Structure 1
Amino acid sequence: MFPSVLLFCLFSVVMSENKLASVDFEVFGNVQGVCFRMYTEDQGRSLGLSGWVKNTRQGTVIGQIQGPPDKVNDMKLWLKSVGSPSSRIDRTVFSNERDITKLEIRGFSTRY
C-alpha cells in the first residue's frame, strides 16, 4: 500500500504544478487617464501571466488574466489594492474564474 500512496502524492504534486487558472476582472474607481492599463500590463508580465486589459465606455477597466493559480492570485490582489500610482480603486469584481488546461491567450496586451 505504501508505494501506491507515494505514487499518488507525487502525481498530485506534478499535476498541481501544471494547473492553470483564468479569471475575468472589472476595476471600478478612478482608473482611466492614470496609466492603469500600462501598469496592469507591466504587472501581469512581471508575474509571467497572459492576459489583456481594456478601458470601457463606462469608465472602468476590464480584462482577463491566465496563468499559475498563485500568480493569478497575486495579480488579483494587485488589481484590488494597488493599481497605478495615480489610480483610486473603489472595487474590483472577478468573474468566470475557472481552471484551464492550457493558456488561451498569448502574452499580455492592451486592447482598444
Structure 2
Amino acid sequence: MNPTYCIRAKVHGRVQGVAFRSYTRQAAVELGLSGWVRNCSDGTVEVLAEGERMIVEQFINWLHVGSPFSQVSKVEYNDQTATGEFDSFEIRFSG
C-alpha cells in the first residue's frame, strides 16, 4: 500500500455560492479520501485531503475543474504532513 499523502489547497475563482464544497466532498468521498473543505473569508475555498498519492493527485486535477457551476481560475496547494486524524471528508464552516 502506498504511504498516505496530504495536501492543503486553496481554490480561487467563482467557487462560493455554487455548491463547490458539496461537490468537493462528494468527489473526495468517491475517491476514498479523508479531510475537509471550507469557504474562506477572501472568497476562496480551502481543502485539506489525505489518501494515497495517486488518488490525491486525481483529486487535485478535479479541483482544477470543480463543480458544474464553478469557474476555477487557480489552485494553489502544498504538501502537508499526513496525520491520519480524519476518518471521513467533511464540510467545515468558514475559516
Same structural fold, with TM-score higher than 0.5 when normalized by the shorter chain = yes
Greater percentage in strand: 2
> Which amino acid is the alignment partner of residue 84 of structure 2?
L
The equivalent residue for 2:7 is: 23
Work out the number of aligned pairs and report it.
93
- More helix, by proportion: 1
Alpha-carbon distance in 1 for matches of 2:61, 2:2? 22
Bigger radius of gyration: 1
- What do you get for the CA RMSD once the two structures are aligned? 1.2
- Residue among 70, 88, 92 paired with 1:107: 88
Q: Does 1 or 2 have the higher relative contact order (CA < 8 Å, sep 6+)?
A: 2
Counterpart of 1:23 in 2: which secondary structure?
Answer: strand
- Which amino acid is the alignment partner of residue 78 of structure 1? W
Tell me how far 1:42 sits from its aligned partner.
0.1
Confirm or deny: 8 A CA contact 2:9 2:75 kept in the other structure.
yes
Report the TM-score when normalising by structure 1. Answer: 0.79
> Normalising by the residue count of structure 2, what TM-score does the alignment of the two structures yield?
0.92
CA contact (8 A) 1:28 1:92 kept: yes
Q: How does 1:6-85 map to 2 (within 5 A)?
A: 17-80=1-64, 82-85=65-68
